[in-house]
Structure 1
Amino acid sequence: MINDFTFGRVLIIGDLLLDCYIHGSVDRISPEAPVPVLLRAKHSTVPGGACNVAMNAAALGCTVSLVGLVGQDASAHELRQALAQQSRISLDHLVDDADWVTITKTRVLSGRQQIVRIDDEPSTVVAPIVQEKLIAAALNALDTADVIVCSDYAKGVLSDEVLQAVIQAANLRGIPVVVDPKRKDLSAYKGAQLITPNRKELSSATGLPVGSDTEIHFAALAAQEQFGGDVLVTRSEEGMTLLERSGRMTHAHVPKSEVFDVSGAGDTVVATIAAMISAKADLQTAMVIATNAASIVVGKLGTATVSRAELSAALKSKIEKDGVIASLAEAQGIVAAWRQHGARIVFTNGCFDLLHPGHIALIRSAAREGDKLIVALNSDASVRRLKGMERPLQDEQARATVMGALRDVDLVVIFDEDTPYETIAALKPDILVKGADYTEDQVVGGDVVKSYGGRVVLADLVSGRSTTSIVRKMKAD
């Protein structure tokens, strides 16, 4: 499990980006031109590029030093502020240059649909004197690093001179270097331990097809010939393929997930790989864990990170096949990560002993109220106190497994008290859902949710459906 690893210190050098998102809705076409008119609702910014790698590594628990170039402009100030929110990231080694324009990508979205992207980029190359400052900053930070990541977005920071200086210094100190490449000539990365190209980047660098496992194998061999290290190929829904210098090739299949946005997924992969290397994990283990991290992040809208708690829950789910089940402490970490990305958290609870259409209707109704649904289950002891010694008919693990397998359910938590009051107080959901057989003032935890501006929703019930009535019928029969 991910909690068994102690992550170390990661030095990340590369192109620093600011990702901006303008959200709104479109319901008409402009009379001036055949283009949609967006009614602007909100504007948000998050660190992108090498900054997103840093945010992902820090979210997993690494201590991060970030080296890169920013301008002396408003976007640089905004980027620094966003990065400063993550205490594990050191900004002491950033280089600023008055002639540089901080790279900014602005995406305009209606719902989850991207309408257009607007890029602000410098029109000049990085000056030699600035390259020297970048090298000095990297070498200054290098001595405290367990692993180095070169995040190359082909924006100019990772020039030949900078790459050569960083990789040579790392090799002298025995520090592994991981590169997320963008170059067509991979020989620029000679001396790195690992590169992590996607299929398009691998094909572009080698001139070879990459459609099948066999084609991936030959293309990865060609890549190895160029730079001499291990190759980890990210293959979207087909997972990842690792070709080591020893000749061993390993595949990792990505867990099934709903894909909303692949922005920054490669950043999550390289950050997870680096974190695992810093914890002295082998590359096969690192690859498997990175595939799970990638499957989580593509389910989020926009540039995003994966927390240690989220990854732990996903790995636990895969290993135990018990659905998305977490302890209360784990759930708090997962919910905190969801909130960082603007998710509205919905909560409902019950014994859910024999799952029936009434339960399904409640779950579906609750899921429609927000973005993430938590279901809290009474423990076996709690059910016995409420329903009698003959209940539950299914133990808590069985009930949690069934509940966690439902598509609408994002997280399952088991509570041992008679009511979920303490669980609600700990998780602080935005919406609390119960069946319409309650009145609003009868809903346990409703006062807590309302105290911070949340709301209580009473869902319509399916008449004549309950576990108790099913049990009675079974006994009568």
Structure 2
Amino acid sequence: MVLGDAMLDVDVEGTVDRLCPGTPAAVVDVCRELRRPGGAGLAALLAARSTDSVLLITAVADDEAGRALRGLLDEELTVLSVPLRGTTVRKARVRVAGQSLLRLDTGDGTADQGPLAAEIERALRSAGAILVADYGGGVAGHPDIRRLLAALAPTVPIVWDPHPRGPAPTPGARLISPNLSEARRFHQSGLEPAELAMILRDDWAAHAVAVTTGAAGAALADGRRVRTVPVPADARVTASAEPDACGAGDCFASTAAASLLAGATMAEAVSGAVEAAARFIGAGGACALSVRVEPSTPAQPPLPPNLGSAFDVAARVRAAGGRLVATGGCFDLLHPGHLSLLQQSRALGDALIVCLNSDDSVRRLKGLGRPILQARDRARLLTELASVDAVAIFDEPSPAALLERLCPDVWVKGGDYTGTQLPESEIVQRHGGETVLIPTVHGYSTSQLVAAAQGRS
């Protein structure tokens, strides 16, 4: 369970080769825009890469930034949202040659402090471990949430990544992990990391406090002991350029929480977290988790949740003069018929994008008992196949709107259709593409497999 304030992080990357006339301001020619979840959203995304089941409790508005943020998260984890007063926070860094020139922050949203939904209370009570990623947006200060955290602390490992603008951690947290700058603001002193760790452990009535110190690792106060946890030699960043440390604290906290969930000792959890954060920075930090956003006109509707990677594939294929193929379906329980369709589809061009029905879309088509697997799991299985280059999830009854955006050169359908029976054919042909029909493999369908399994049970 990850609990805290999520936001949309954006990197606007460009080049500078001139100044604005009449001013000393640099002119940035934008090359690309990258988006990723920030704050508790990034912590939850990192946790989902190492833990089987992750649920994020946060506060997100139904605005452009909020929809983009949900789109980046929904494929990988479950999100429960408390109401947000105001707009979703969006933080945009303008970067040139790997260096940040400035950051533009928009959004004034704070979590509503009204009664907590029963669904969220049930979820908290079922957590095996809880990471509080506080960014001062009010989720960690919600009175009902704080009451539950205090009650759960004796039996559930709670890792708290605090923020100077947020509330004090609730008593009994298993581990609290401020960085050195934050720790000195909490205690209003210039003490050394080890002294700060001991003082804050007592102030917060925590089992342990780890003050992270960047390249020096962390100072861990566990009980009455204080120890230094160094970065392993083979994980140290050796590049001459200043590394981008954005997200390192989220990586540290999510790794520690996952380790405690798995039964690690505090020393093992913090050592593993120090190493993971160092390797995370060495691999490019949070930027490595970003999704590129293709330019679009303001009149266009927002992208479906996971469309960024599909558009990246489409853009690369077109730039190379290649042939883009798309197919669609529910793909609920992959079987040999699916594999045959996907392999034949991929052979028709240079890349294959699968347009995948969302859970609600499958339910409307197949009934209340379907899908058997959630969309994020179906997408994950598909992207593991060598024949599939990207997956895009759509929520409508058909992928027509998605095809208007992707404009594939070839649209593939399996089954006993004719080209005139497919409403998608007109869209594809209008954009200069063609429709190809591939016969299904006899004897294989998900409905038949489900029925057979139910008959044997």
Alignment TM-score, normalising by the size of structure 1? 0.56
CA contact (8 A) 1:150 1:179 kept: yes
Gap change, CA 1:162 and 1:200, over 3 Å in 2: farther
Task: Give the 5 Å matches for 1:13-162.
Answer: 13-86=3-76, 89-91=77-79, 93-97=80-84, 99-122=85-108, 125-129=110-114, 132-133=115-116, 136-159=118-141, 161-162=143-144
Q: Which residue of 2 aligns with 1:201?
A: 182
Post-superposition Cα deviations, 1:305-327, rounded to whole Å, max 9, x if no partner, equal 78xxxxxxxxxxxxxxxxxxxxx
Residue 244 (structure 2) pairs with residue 244 (structure 1):
no
Task: Give the 5 Å matches for 1:393-432.
Answer: none
Gap change, CA 1:187 and 1:26, over 3 Å in 2: closer
CA contact (8 A) 2:5 2:133 kept: yes
Amino acid at match of 2:7: L
Structure 1 counterpart of 2:151, from 155, 163, 169: 169
Q: Tell me by how many angstroms 1:95 deviates.
A: 2.7
Gap change, CA 1:102 and 1:273, over 3 Å in 2: same
Task: Give the 5 Å matches for 1:191-230.
Answer: 191-210=172-191, 215-229=192-206, 230=208
Post-superposition Cα deviations, 1:388-443, rounded to whole Å, max 9, x if no partner, equal xxxxxxxxxxxxxxxxxxxxxxxxxxxxxxxxxxxxx98x9xxxxxxxxxxxxxxx
Cα distance in 1 for partners of 2:137, 2:105 equals 12
Post-superposition Cα deviations, 1:224-282, rounded to whole Å, max 9, x if no partner, equal 12111100111001111211024353423353213520111000000000110111011
Structure 2 counterpart of 1:267, from 250, 262, 265: 250
Cα distance in 1 for partners of 2:132, 2:120 equals 11
Structure 2 counterpart of 1:253, from 221, 231, 238: 231
CA contact (8 A) 2:116 2:144 kept: no
Amino acid at match of 2:282: G
Amino acid at match of 1:65: L
Question: Residue 135 of structure 2: SS of its match in structure 1?
Answer: coil
Matched-pair identity in %: 27
Q: Tell me by how many angstroms 1:221 deviates.
A: 1.6
Question: Residue 128 of structure 1: SS of its match in structure 2?
Answer: coil
Cα distance in 2 for partners of 1:183, 1:189 equals 14
CA contact (8 A) 2:8 2:69 kept: yes
Structure 2 counterpart of 1:232, from 210, 216, 219: 210
Q: Report the RMSD for the aligned CA atoms in angstroms.
A: 2.9
Cα distance in 2 for partners of 1:292, 1:66 equals 24
Post-superposition Cα deviations, 1:148-207, rounded to whole Å, max 9, x if no partner, equal 0111111222216255223123136x1111100113797543221110011011111122
Post-superposition Cα deviations, 1:41-91, rounded to whole Å, max 9, x if no partner, equal 1112100100100011111234111001011201111011111232xx112
CA contact (8 A) 1:185 1:205 kept: no
Amino acid at match of 2:66: A
CA contact (8 A) 2:248 2:285 kept: no
CA contact (8 A) 2:59 2:111 kept: no
Cα distance in 1 for partners of 2:164, 2:284 equals 27
Question: Residue 298 of structure 1: SS of its match in structure 2?
Answer: helix
Gap change, CA 1:302 and 1:272, over 3 Å in 2: closer
Alignment TM-score, normalising by the size of structure 2? 0.59
The answer for unaligned runs of 5 or more in structure 1 is: 1-10, 307-338, 343-424, 429-477
Q: Tell me by how many angstroms 1:304 deviates.
A: 4.7
Q: Which residue of 2 aligns with 1:321?
A: none
The answer for unaligned runs of 5 or more in structure 2 is: 290-308, 313-384, 389-457
Gap change, CA 1:32 and 1:133, over 3 Å in 2: farther
Aligned pair count reads 291
Residue 266 (structure 2) pairs with residue 289 (structure 1):
no
Question: Residue 139 of structure 2: SS of its match in structure 1?
Answer: coil
Cα distance in 1 for partners of 2:81, 2:110 equals 18
Q: Tell me by how many angstroms 1:117 deviates.
A: 0.5
Cα distance in 1 for partners of 2:266, 2:132 equals 17
Amino acid at match of 2:184: S
Cα distance in 2 for partners of 1:56, 1:127 equals 26
CA contact (8 A) 2:112 2:138 kept: no
Amino acid at match of 1:292: E
Question: Residue 189 of structure 2: SS of its match in structure 1?
Answer: coil
